[in-house]
Amino acid sequence: MNIDYFFQMFLGGLTRGSIYALIALGYTMVYGIIQLINFAHGEIYMIGAFTGLIVAGLMTLSGWNSLSILVIASMAAVVYASAYGWTMEKIAYKPLRKAPRLSALISAIGMSLFLQNYVLLAQTSDFLPFPNLIPEFKFLKPVEHIVRSSEIVIYVTTAVVMVLLTVMIKFTRMGKAMRATSQDQEMAMLVGVDVNRVISTTFVVGSATAALGGILIASHIGQINFYIGFIAGIKAFVAAVLGGIGSMPGAVLGSLVLGWTESFFTGYISSDYEDVFAFLFLVFILIFRPSGILGRKETDKV
Amino acid sequence: MLKRHSRVLAISIAGMLAITLVVACSQKEETVVVQKEEVKPVKIAVVGPHSGDLASYGIPTVRAAELVMERRNALCGVNGRSIELVVEDDVCKPEIATSSATKVAGEGVHAVLGHICSGATKAALGIYKDTNLVAMSPSATNPALTQSGDYPNFFRTIASDDAQAKLEVEFALGVLKVSKIAVLHDKGDYGKGLAEFAKGFIEADSRGEVVLYEGVTPGAVDYSAVVNKIDQSGAEAVIFGGYHPEASKIVSQMRKKGMTTIFISDDGVKDDTFIKVAGEYAEGVYATGPMDTTNNPLAIEAVEAHKKKYGEDPGAFFLNAYAAAQALINAVEKSCSTDYNDIVNVLRNEWVATPLGIIKFDERGDAIGVGFAMYQVKNGAYEEVI
């Protein structure tokens, strides 16, 4: 097949991978800090998308222009979803911090189902049309057919989020506190790190990136419903494990690898087995490198 | 008939329900024991998705059954017995459908109106067969349900998928005169079955070829890989078997990419939700759906009744469900019985006037007198093209 087709598949995989990465970051950060798989994380992504839909709808009614709608709706989604992430940690995970790890895991699954059904009741079970927030540009002849402006926005946003997070973890006080907490919670507490605040911040930051992913993909695809968080969440979780859960570059790499695997298998073999191949690939990686592509060797966690 | 109705009416005004029953059934000369049993209402179960993302297919059936029930109950019911509905949600999931089926069978219903999705219907039918219950679906179109002969208790007021696939292929090759066709499906019982038939019909026809045959993953984050593949295959038309959520995503992504490939789909897509979600990208999409019956006075009446009670136009399969409810009640009335054999006998042999036309059922359970037509989205609404 020709090179043009290869690039289309490559960029399609990159789009998927970027979205997975924005969600996977939340999984991996929360796991890194408190060793919890936050299964309700996919729902935060969905709530971000819904917030975006509601805010964009209200702003369209009052006649704002599309760029300000994009910016304000994204900000609203980020703030609202972060508030959800923060509250979720306070009510569902904090009381269970000293409990066996399985309890928190079950609490997470319960939270996920609760949020799905809450949105189902509060909104509707139907698919809803999502406005195209990112204006479509016509590109020049050779790339016109291959890439859309919303995809470019997705790539750029993901890249910017990566850079900002890396800077935050490496150079800020909060980043230092996070690294300390992830190494040893009690020791960090003894040297004066406010562990509760660190954990809350982790949830807030993870939720914010997931919300960005939600609003961007909803605008790219043009529709949402209450169930979109489940599959995206599972895929992002797989990506985080693939890259090595607990590692931020690992989450991004795992997401891109998963996105490309799906895209190229669909493109060159068949989409009938898209998920089969993606998960087979996961099994192989885990057999030959149990800690994931960039993971640390820790065998006693979940 | 007239005489009987006026007698029934007069006596019911006097408030003597028991005597009403004797009068209504006296033509059949039933024994006293049977009359005692028949004081109980005729229970009809309505099972389908009433929540979840396919609720827009299930709710119209509940409403149709309610309208038919209210109308009949106002006219003294069936043979003097009132009609009662037992509504049960199966979310279109086979595993939930089996427990719904067990539940309604346990509640002593006399017939089942449902289920809506083919997969769920198939899962439930075995249970109804074991408990001697007639099930009539307004929408389950999988051919094997009737053609396999496994379910003598199954009837439907909609034509089967192969009829739909045949129409789609005929339309693409004969009317639109395309030759390269991509056939896609959503890997579900309904969509894949339909796509397989379409593929078979195209391959058997010298006018066209299948350039791509694939299943897409429902609920996937994005379909750009499949859309690129369609583009690459050089298909002039896509035939998609499945439901509207996937169809609207695929169509939108195709159109946003600037592809003008013709999109043909089935009655899983011939739903207003599809147009609402896909918006401008829905324009020009073809979809098969039950024949237009807007000129049938019974259909006009049923739609009017729906508008009056619910304040909106009825949704998918409403008329099929209305016809099914009428056929079931007619069978109970004509046979003056709620026995399985009696109901089946009437369904197979007696014609009944419904919004779909005058119908009865063939040996396999398919309705005689109903079929599909091709629709196209024009200015935000489906319009019949052939």
Per-residue pLDDT of A144-200, as tens digits, reads: 677 888 899 999 999 999 999 999 999 999 999 999 999 888 999 999 999 999 999
In this prediction, residue B13 carries a pLDDT of: 46
DSSP letter string, B267-312: TTT-SHHHHHHHGGGGTT-EEEEEPP-TT-HHHHHHHHHHHHHHSS
Q: Which contiguous run of DSSP H or E holds residue A95?
A: none
**B214 Cβ contact partners less than 8 Å away, ≥ 6 residues apart:** A270, A271, A272, B182, B183, B184, B185, B226, B229
Torsion, Cα B29 B33 B34 B39, to 10 degrees, reads 120
In this prediction, residue A174 carries a pLDDT of: 93
pLDDT-flagged residues of chain B (< 50): 1-2, 10-34, 36
Instruction: Give the CB-side neighbour count of residue A172, counting CA atoms within 13 A.
Output: 11
**B362 Cβ contact partners less than 8 Å away, ≥ 6 residues apart:** B348, B368
C-alpha–C-alpha distance, residues A123 and B2, integer Å: 50
Decide if B179 touches A, using CB distance below 8 A.
Answer: no
Chain B hits for A129, Cβ within 8 Å: 276-279
In this prediction, residue B4 carries a pLDDT of: 55
**B175 Cβ contact partners less than 8 Å away, ≥ 6 residues apart:** B386
Q: Which residues of B205-238 are buried (b: 16+ CB within 10 A; e: fewer)?
A: eeebebbbbbbbbbbbbbbbbbbbbbbbbebbbb
Give me the residues paired with residue B377 across strands.
B382
Which one of B224, B272, B273 would you mutate to disrupt binding with A, by most A Cβ within 10 Å of its Cβ?
B224
Q: Please state the ipTM of this predicted complex.
A: 0.87
CA A65 to chain B, closest CA, distance in angstroms equals 20
Decide if B178 touches A, using CB distance below 8 A.
Answer: no
CA A133 to chain B, closest CA, distance in angstroms equals 14
CA B250 to chain A, closest CA, distance in angstroms equals 9
Decide if B142 touches A, using CB distance below 8 A.
Answer: no
CB contact residues (below 8 A), chain B span 54-93, against chain A: 55-56
In this prediction, residue A16 carries a pLDDT of: 93
Query: In Å, how far are B76, B83, B311 from B71, measured between CA atoms?
Result: 9, 10, 18
User: Do residue B225 and residue A220 have CB atoms under 8 angstroms apart?
Assistant: no
Query: Closest residue of A to B276, CA-based?
Result: A129
Query: In Å, how far are B6, B333, B354 from B75, measured between CA atoms?
Result: 11, 13, 17
Chain A hits for B214, Cβ within 8 Å: 270-272
Q: Which contiguous run of DSSP H or E holds residue A88?
A: helix A66-88
Please calculate the CA angle A87-A89-A94 and round it to the nearest 5 degrees.
125
Chain B hits for A144, Cβ within 8 Å: 258
Query: Closest residue of A to B215, CA-based?
Result: A272
302 residues of chain A, pLDDT tens digit each: 588 889 989 999 999 999 999 999 999 999 999 889 999 999 999 999 999 999 999 999 998 888 899 999 999 999 999 999 999 999 999 999 889 989 999 999 999 999 999 999 998 888 899 988 888 777 766 666 778 888 999 999 999 999 999 999 999 999 999 999 998 889 999 999 999 999 999 999 999 999 999 999 999 988 999 999 998 999 999 999 999 888 899 999 999 999 999 999 888 988 888 888 778 878 888 888 888 888 766 544 44
Task: Note whether A248 and A175 are within 8 A (CB).
Answer: no
User: Do residue B249 and residue A223 have CB atoms under 8 angstroms apart?
Assistant: yes
Query: How many Cβ atoms from other residues are within 10 Å of residue A124's Cβ?
Result: 14
Chain B hits for A230, Cβ within 8 Å: 219
Of A127, A231, A263, the CB nearest to B245: A127
Q: Which contiguous run of DSSP H or E holds residue B382?
A: strand B381-384
Query: In Å, how far are A150, A159, A237, A259, B158 from A163, measured between CA atoms?
Result: 20, 6, 21, 20, 57
Task: Note whether A49 and A225 are within 8 A (CB).
Answer: no
User: Do residue A227 and residue B219 have CB atoms under 8 angstroms apart?
Assistant: yes
User: Do residue A271 and residue B214 have CB atoms under 8 angstroms apart?
Assistant: yes
Q: What is the CA radius of gyration of chain A?
A: 19
User: Do residue A125 and residue B279 have CB atoms under 8 angstroms apart?
Assistant: no
In this prediction, residue A119 carries a pLDDT of: 92
Decide if B283 touches A, using CB distance below 8 A.
Answer: no
Residue whose tokens read 């660190």: A198
CB contact residues (below 8 A), chain B span 185-224, against chain A: 187, 214-217, 219-222, 224
User: Which two tokens mark A180?
Assistant: 């300390």
User: Do residue B279 and residue A222 have CB atoms under 8 angstroms apart?
Assistant: yes
Of A128, A262, A266, the CB nearest to B229: A266
